[in-house]
Amino acid sequence: MAQELIIKTSPFPVGKAGALILFAADKLEFGPQAKKIISGSDLDFAKLAKAAEFAGRAGTAMQVLMPQGVAADRLVVIGTGKKPDAKAKPGRGLSERGAALVSQIGALRIERASVVLDGSEFDAVGVSRLVAGLKLRHYRFDKYRQSKKPEGEAPEPANKLTVVLHVADKRAADKAIAERDAVTGGIILARDLVNEPANILGTEELAAEAQKLKSLGVTVEVLGEPEMKKLGMGSLLSVSQGSARPARLVVMQWKGGKAKDKPVAFVGKGVVFDSGGISIKPAMSMEDMKGDMGGAAAVTGLMHTLATRKAKVNAVGVIGVVENMVSGEATRPGDIVTSMSGQTIEINNTDAEGRLVLADALWYTNGRFKPKAMINLATLTGAIGVALGSEFAGLFSNNDELAGWLVEAGEESGDRLWRMPITPGFDKMMNSRFADMKNSGGRGGGASSAAAFLQRFVKDVPWAHLDIAGVAFGAGGEGGNSWASGFGVAVLDQLVRDHYEG
């Protein structure tokens, strides 16, 4: 059973506490409230810290039981490391501090903690970012665990954890936390979807999850295979034809802006399980391919966030939902299909399927909605993980301004992006001797050639492709207890806040 997390705020000063938690930077630098608590106690704190070899380094902590002169049963000091540069974006650092906080609380088996948040970084927005990090690290996906943890794992946490945050301005902090909770909720929804096993979350089930957004005011349409065949989506449908599960195209609209405003569009790859098709994947780690719908999960989570916070923007979310399986009906290497755009595609690798889904989804979205900008997300290539690891998602774009906005939003939100090239040479790699193009240009430069393929389906609209294969799952970070990260929700919400909300 998941532990219940209760977060409260309270103004200074701090009263009697069970566990009192302070933050200290390198060389034991404290904020003003924490410094007052330490200096007013009977503790020789410098001597205690030296004995514990604690100097405020990030990832370290020290604990004092029954501290003399402190109104608490125990005092916990968590190191935060060097203070960030004044020009640095605060989002990632503060959310990571929240993640570290809940980790230390769990390690010490604390059930109720009072935390002092003082210092200039802990304005209302700073507090909200710390709370987001705390909630995301606390998240667990353990709904299918019926038995106790295996021997050697950490013991189960208490049923309830209460964290009281002592802040300078309670009213402002509460308002900022409520605003940030919309983003956190979207990330958690995306994580839940990616973490679900493929036998539970198939194509129809993922479409049904998106339809739940109707309760928030999102308009949701679901196109079935007959509708997609009529539209000429031969590229997308070629991926699903080997599966017993039918393909779906889900269209979500949030109309929070002016009626005359063009929307900003988000398109997600939703392969609920990817066997690789006839170009079958190696057995090792194939179970991870339940997460090949990470792009669709992020788009769904983003639409949840925008609707929850009543964003003043017109936004469209489109997800192509398929399963890529091996059967007598499956697409063969060498087959040629016709996309909705009319362009023909030689499928030389059935494991390069995500781009086939996105090709028709992008063309449909652009043609129907005429968006002011279009961003797609996909766990598209293993090559991007080789290039960038789990530190950054790959960013590809036909528009320098949009690319710059996305990089800035990534630094602000913590979903960091690194721009990668799309040159004519990469586009040339996708030429086919038998069709207008092929769907795989080979291993070398695989992330860029995949992006060049997608670019053939976007016309002149400002467009960006986020290859999130290295960061959507298994990457750790703030995810902590979660295999899925929910990457993409925060950066795209930040982009909307900064540039599209009127």
Catalytic site positions: 281, 355
Beta-sheet pairing, 393-397 with 463-467: antiparallel
Q: What's the DSSP call for residue 215?
A: G
Beta-sheet pairing, 264-274 with 314-324: parallel
User: Cα Rg for the chain, rounded, in angstroms?
Assistant: 24
| Tokens describing residue 413 | 């939100």
For residue 38, give every residue at least 6 positions away whose Cβ sits within 8 Å of its Cβ, in sequence order, or none. 22, 30, 45
CA dist., res. 53 & res. 156, Å (int): 29
Listed as own residue / partner, the contacts of 72-76 with beta carbons closer than 8 Å and 24 or more positions apart are: 72/16, 72/17, 72/18, 72/19, 72/20, 72/114, 73/17, 73/18, 73/19, 74/18, 74/19, 74/20, 75/19, 75/20, 75/22, 75/43, 76/19, 76/20, 76/21, 76/22, 76/104, 76/108, 76/110, 76/113
Cβ atoms of residues 418 and 467 within 8 Å: no
- Bridge partners of 464, per DSSP, are 375, 397
DSSP sequence for 388-404: HTTT-EEEEES-HHHHH
For residue 169, give every residue at least 6 positions away whose Cβ sits within 8 Å of its Cβ, in sequence order, or none. 11, 123, 124
**Does 13 sit behind a cis peptide bond, omega within 30 degrees of 0 on the bond before it?**
yes
274 residue type, one letter: D
| Tokens describing residue 35 | 């410094």
CA dist., res. 313 & res. 443, Å (int): 39
Cβ atoms of residues 324 and 412 within 8 Å: no
* DSSP E strand stretches across 82-133: 112-116
CA dist., res. 378 & res. 287, Å (int): 18
CA distances 342 to 347, 457, 479, Å, are: 15, 10, 42
